[in-house]
Amino acid sequence: MRHLARKQRFTVSAEALSLFIGWSNVTLQRLGTCTHWAVGIDGRSYQTDQWYNLSSNITASISRRLHVQKDHPISITRAIIESRFPGPTYKYYNNFFPVVSTQQNFDSLGFPTDHPGRSKTDTYYVNRETVLRTHTSAHQADVFRANESEGFLISADVYRRDAIDRSHYPIFHQMEGARVWDRTKVPNGDIAAAVLKDLEALPTHSMKVQDPNPPTHPERNPLQKEHSQAEAQAIAAHLKRSLELVVVEIFSRAKAAAISANPDFVDEPLKVRWIEAYFPFTSPSWELEIFWQGDWLEVLGCGVVKQDIMEKAGLPQQLGWAFGVGLERIAMLLFEIPDIRLFWSKDERFLGQFSGLSENLDSLRRFVPFSKYPACYKDVAFWLRSSSSSAGGGSRANSQDFHENDVMEIVRDIGGDLVEDVSKVDEFAHPKTGRKSLCYRINYRSLERTLTNEEANGYHDQVRKALVEKLGVELR
């Protein structure tokens, strides 16, 4: 689910596209105009158009598939969650290709045509009708339609244009889970009774749970017209117990690892709370928050599947629940990993710490930082263009169409994982002209070595030039 928790505007030029040629997983062939190309993504060919906005930073990482890489913390986290949803009730799907249609990614889930997630500032487009999936839910309708099991888990890499900091990365990993019951297969067609029977078979736990809101609310969390109150309430109870057991599994392991690393670790009772939420494809819906090290942390979203999704999948007689969780968020908590970029490191000082864990999850241990290299801060300030008529090509940015994610993409594509974070530190409008000025601070810091000031200056000069060429800004 599209977390079921996270933005082209600029058209990539032929010159920029040509830089991709020679990459092992991306090849390009000119089709006769400067805006239409054939692009190969991890061995598959696609035709691009003016919507294409993938960067080399993204295309170079598509084949990494960290969620199935042995002994990688993302893969280990996936396996721990899967252990709470055993077969044959649940089937696992971990190898879906990341390029999907807009129909799969948006339409099949009921995203309205004006939803911000459809924007080229949010989503990576291969062409107008093809994207890099923004959530594992892009495969939900297809898996429902296949109807191969009563439940399923989908784990995959997902892609979104976003901010640059220690907890956000344009590629991350989600797990989508679902469980359904069929009116034609349960005794007497009684869904509520069948769900409650399955609920009784689930383990119990002693974790403290706050759930103050009613199962449904006519305005905040409405009951679907196709469902009875008893059905929705039973499905919600089964969903919440299933996910609470996941939390117990994960954080019991996290605490065991913490105690192993520090015998003086002070344990505290595990607490969770359910918060009413809204998602386009579930109702009622909730987010789950965990009280961890003094703060409430949101870790997943879930709800009762919208019945029109089941109808579109050709299964109107089935009812069920679905959830979505970000694997990075869980892995960072589980292993105490402080920077999301570390997941993409090939440094053995990082990867070696998790050797053997895939074969023995009980030996889980916390990450031990191996270095903290100095930061190299650089500022870039610029004026946005004041005339909206200047839009298009390499000089199109103005206060009406400027989007911060365009800046993030330029910085990320040039600096890659050498950029720790980017933040806006100043913004003002000229008192006479109204023209807007922005200043961003870029923190260049390597996870693996000391980055020299000269190297940082080299990257920063490229960033400054690209801002002018791509966004049409005027440097200050």
- The pLDDT value recorded for residue 24 is 32
Per the CB < 8 A criterion, the answer to whether 441 and 425 are in contact is yes
Domain assignment present for 19: no
Domain assignment present for 88: yes
Domain assignment present for 30: no
Q: Are residues 407 and 338 in the same domain?
A: no
Domain assignment present for 18: no
Residue numbers of the chain with a pLDDT score lower than 70: 1-35, 386-400
Q: Are residues 317 and 197 in the same domain?
A: yes
Q: Are residues 178 and 272 in the same domain?
A: yes
List strands edge to edge, sheet with 36-41.
26-33, 36-41, 44-47
What CA dihedral angle connects 230, 235, 237 and 240, to 10 degrees? -160
Distance CA 364, CA 367 (A): 10
Domain assignment present for 48: yes
Residue located via tokens 């930061």: 375
Per the CB < 8 A criterion, the answer to whether 304 and 4 are in contact is no
- Domain of residue 128, residue span: 41-363
**CATH assignment of the domain containing 441:** 3.30.70.380
Distance CA 36, CA 128 (A): 12
Domain assignment present for 24: no
Measuring CA to CA, how many Å separate 129 from each of 159, 319, 399?
A: 16, 30, 28
Q: Are residues 355 and 446 in the same domain?
A: no
Measuring CA to CA, how many Å separate 442 from each of 63, 312, 410, 458?
A: 28, 46, 12, 13
* C-alpha neighbours within 13 Å on the C-beta side of residue 298: 13
**CATH assignment of the domain containing 329:** 3.30.930.10
Domain assignment present for 395: no
Q: Are residues 344 and 445 in the same domain?
A: no
Distance CA 266, CA 258 (A): 9
Q: Are residues 315 and 418 in the same domain?
A: no
Closest CA to 2 of 110, 78, 91: 110
Domain assignment present for 322: yes
* List of residues 6+ apart from 446 with CB closer than 8 A: 373, 417, 418
Q: Are residues 84 and 172 in the same domain?
A: yes
Q: Are residues 343 and 419 in the same domain?
A: no
Per the CB < 8 A criterion, the answer to whether 166 and 172 are in contact is no
Q: Are residues 208 and 104 in the same domain?
A: yes
Overall number of domains in the chain: 2
Distance CA 441, CA 23 (A): 30
pTM, whole model, 2 decimals? 0.84
Both tokens of 450, joined, read 């000391």
Q: Are residues 318 and 405 in the same domain?
A: no
Q: Are residues 244 and 359 in the same domain?
A: yes
Phi and psi angles of residue 240, each rounded to the nearest 5 degrees, phi first: -65, -40
Q: Are strands 90-93 and 151-159 parallel, antiparallel or unpaired?
A: parallel
Q: Are residues 129 and 251 in the same domain?
A: yes
CA 361 centroid distance within chain? 24
* C-alpha neighbours within 13 Å on the C-beta side of residue 294: 1
